[in-house]
Structure formats: C-alpha cells, structure tokens
Chain A
C-alpha cells in the first residue's frame, strides 16, 4: 500500500500491522448501525448456507429485494444492485435475520409460506404481475407456464412467463420453482434444474 521511495522511512512503520481485524470488525459494525440509524443504508446484505448452496440475501428499507444463488455470482449480483438501486450497500446481517430464519424453517420443512416484506422494484410490468401471482401457487403444488399466463391476465404470454421466472429476483421466496412445463417436465430454473428438482422434492412434489 505504501508507495514511498524511502526505505529508511518504510522501516519506521514496519512494526505496524497493516490490518487490525478486531478494530475493523468493530468499526464496520458501528458503521452499519450509524448508517441504519441515519437512513443511508440503502441495501443491507448477508450470505447464508443452505441445502441448495450459499444464498445471497439483500434488503432495502422496503423489504427483501434480492435472493441469489451462487451460480448467479454474488459479487456480480451486488454490482448489479449498486447500478440498479444504489451503491450504498453494506454487509448488514441483522437486517436479514428474519429472512434467514424463515429460509432455515423452509428448508427444515417447518414453514410452508413466507411472511416477509418484499421489495419488487427489480421487476417491472408484466414480469411483476407474474411474480405477484406466484405466491398463490400453494406449497407442494405446481402450475404450468400456460396456467400462470392465464392467471396473470395474458393467456398468450407463455414465453413471457418463462422470462419472468428466469429473471425472478427473489427465487425460493417467490416460488417460481413451482412453475413447470405442461408435459410435467421441470423446465429451466434460475438456480439450475437440479436445484428446482431439490426444492420440489423438499415440498413433496411427486
């Protein structure tokens, strides 16, 4: 980090540790708290481990705004949030406590639907209409892309339903995994087909 050309002066500071991890952790926590208090923490995030791999969870003050699988590249997702919402982003685990707990319960099969405030700002127009319908598909049930298109008010927009599911910013919580092909096969999934199968297995879908 030091770009000095004076080796004697360098030696003066050689005894200093370049990092003080304890202090840094303490100061980071203090920053999150102050930012939250002053309403300038636009996005707080954390990652959790889950049976379908590490999940990134991100929330605005309005609610949960993003759930991302590892294959979506968490760093890239955060960069996308910085561009689409705000770069005032900090690792703030406490903001996601309720989300993490409910996901744990979901994976432990003790929870069948989520009770969370959602911020759907990343999804617009028809896609948002589709996402609004998805929580109505009950736990352990499925609907076809065509059924979802009809329920969302545009029976012919089957492909658009596929796009809405593929770009769902809140997978698992907004259950796009319950949308399958009319022939009964699973179709694609933002978390990969094996993840979709794992979630449907978890919910007891034959």
Chain B
C-alpha cells in the first residue's frame, strides 16, 4: 500500500479541479479538505486493486452533496464575495468565465462533465457514483458539454478567432 502522501500528490490536483467544477471556487477547498481527511481515515481498509481516483471522486461527490444541502439550509451565498487582499498574489488563477458557465449547468450534468472530462473516469464509473445508468451518465455529460459550448464565451472565440 502506497504511503498516503503519494495519494495526495498523485490525485490532489485533479480532485481539486473536480471540486471546483462541481462546487465553484468558494466551497471547493472545504470539500477537498473533507474528502482527503475522510480518505485518510478509510485508506488502510481500501482494497489493493481499488481504482483510487474513482474512490476519491466518490467521496468528493458525497461531500459535494453535503455541501450543497448545507448551503440550501444555510444563508444564501452572495454571487460575488467581497474582495479581500490576496494572500497568494494569485487569488484566482483559474478561468472565472468557465466556472461561472459550469455553475449554470444542472447538478447531474455538471457532475458528469467534471468526472468525465476533468477526472477522466469512464461513464460506467460515473454512473456508479451518481446513480442511474451508464447511458444516462453519457447523455448528461454530452448535454452538459453542448450547453457549456453555448454559454462559455471563450470556446467560440478560440475557434472563430474573433478576439
């Protein structure tokens, strides 16, 4: 069994991308932290032949559902949090437009897009995580991508060179 540090190094970045895609930048870091703490606790019992990435995404998916429920119960998050001084010098080095477009997708589509295109999981694995059939997962990802193409401005300018 690999030391857990190796798991964090190998899969930490991709799980962060998935959390950001599914939850947005504000809640993503909490979800990442809860995911890896839960994974650390359960790690000694993980079967040796398990797909570690799918396992982590499964945990992250549950944490995302918890976070979404908590948010629904709690105070409504403002669309743009007040600006704070940047601690890192690069407070937002990802593409804000893309994350905004992702946020507009229905939850099922957003999850299918993130797990397939960011985590690289096959639709069969995604169906096991989100529930439903493999075909439904494939359809959700395809619908999500089609909608993203329509709402995410950079994708058209990349192809048309209009900027």
Residue positions of A touching B, CB distance < 8 A = 1-4, 6, 8-13, 15-20, 22-24, 26-28, 30-31, 34-35, 38, 40-41, 43, 45, 78-79, 81-83, 86-91
Interface hit among B57-65, B72-80, B112-120: B112-120
- Among B13, B41, B98, which residue has its beta carbon within 8 angstroms of that of A13? B98
A89, closest chain B residue (CB): B3
Can you give 16 A-B contacts (C-beta < 8 A)? A4-B120, A6-B117, A6-B145, A8-B145, A9-B117, A12-B145, A17-B94, A19-B13, A22-B93, A24-B12, A27-B36, A28-B8, A31-B8, A31-B40, A86-B44, A87-B4
Contact (Cβ within 8 A) B149 A12: yes
Q: Which residues of A contact B29 (CB under 8 A)?
A: 23, 26-27, 30
Does B140 touch A at the CB level, under 8 Å? no
A4, closest chain B residue (CB): B117
Q: Which residues of A contact B2 (CB under 8 A)?
A: 79, 82, 87
> CA separation between A8 and B156, bound complex, in Å?
11
Contact (Cβ within 8 A) A1 B94: no
What sequence of 0s and 1s flags, for each residue 149-163 of chain B, a beta carbon within 8 Å of any chain A beta carbon?
100101100110000
Chain B min CB distance to A82 (Å): 5
Chain A min CB distance to B70 (Å): 18
- Interface residue ranges of B1-29 to A (CB < 8 Å): 1-5, 8, 12-14, 16-17, 29
Residue positions of B touching A, CB distance < 8 A = 1-5, 8, 12-14, 16-17, 29, 32-33, 36-37, 40-41, 43-44, 88, 90, 93-95, 98, 116-120, 122, 145, 148-149, 152, 154-155, 158-159
Whether A15 touches B145, Cβ cut-off 8 Å, given contacts A24-B13, A38-B37, is: no
> CA separation between A12 and B154, bound complex, in Å?
8
Chain B contact surface mostly: helix
- Among B13, B98, B119, which residue has its beta carbon within 8 angstroms of that of A15? B98
Contact (Cβ within 8 A) A22 B88: yes
- Among B33, B90, B98, which residue has its beta carbon within 8 angstroms of that of A16? B98
Contact (Cβ within 8 A) B1 A83: yes
